[in-house]
Amino acid sequence: MAGALPLLFTSVGFFSTPFGQSNGMLTPVRRVPLPDAGAFVVYQTDCAALCGYGILVRQERSLIPGILLVRDVYSQDGAEDACIEITGSDGATIENEAVRLRRWVYW
């Protein structure tokens, strides 16, 4: 049971949406590669009356081809993009907020 706790804050995606195409709520805008594999992916959000538009930044890493580990790290309503700066092998700043990088997304 304790081994499952890290997965509480991680999603598993079975496919990714190509850049410039929308899955109805998320449209990938750009990818920022991370030093130890994986990437930050910036998405534009638009879920109509439920949450409006904005951006969502996710840390993604391929587990096996076609399956991604995904962790939401930043969101901002009303924004169109996010300024991302990699500060080291275990850290980054997104819009001046510190984010801790996790090698396998959830560890």
Is residue 105 included in any domain, yes or no?
Answer: no
Per-residue pLDDT at 62: 86
pTM over 0.85: no
Is residue 106 included in any domain, yes or no?
Answer: no
Per-residue confidence of the chain (107 residues) as pLDDT tens digits?
A: 444 444 444 455 544 555 555 556 788 999 999 988 889 999 998 866 666 689 999 999 888 888 888 999 999 988 889 999 999 888 999 999 999 987 776 54
Is residue 45 included in any domain, yes or no?
Answer: yes
Per-residue pLDDT at 18: 56
Give me the DSSP letters along 24-87. Answer: SSEEEEEEEE-TTS-EEEEEEEE-TTTT-EEEEEEEEEEEETTEEEEEEEEEEET-S---EEEE
Is residue 75 included in any domain, yes or no?
Answer: yes
- Domain hosting 77: range is 8-100
Is residue 1 included in any domain, yes or no?
Answer: no
Number of domains making up the chain: 1
Per-residue pLDDT at 32: 94
Is residue 69 included in any domain, yes or no?
Answer: yes
Q: Is 6 helix (H, G, I), strand (E, B) or coil?
A: helix
Is residue 3 included in any domain, yes or no?
Answer: no
Is residue 41 included in any domain, yes or no?
Answer: yes
Distance between CA 61 and CA 74 in Å, rounded?
A: 16
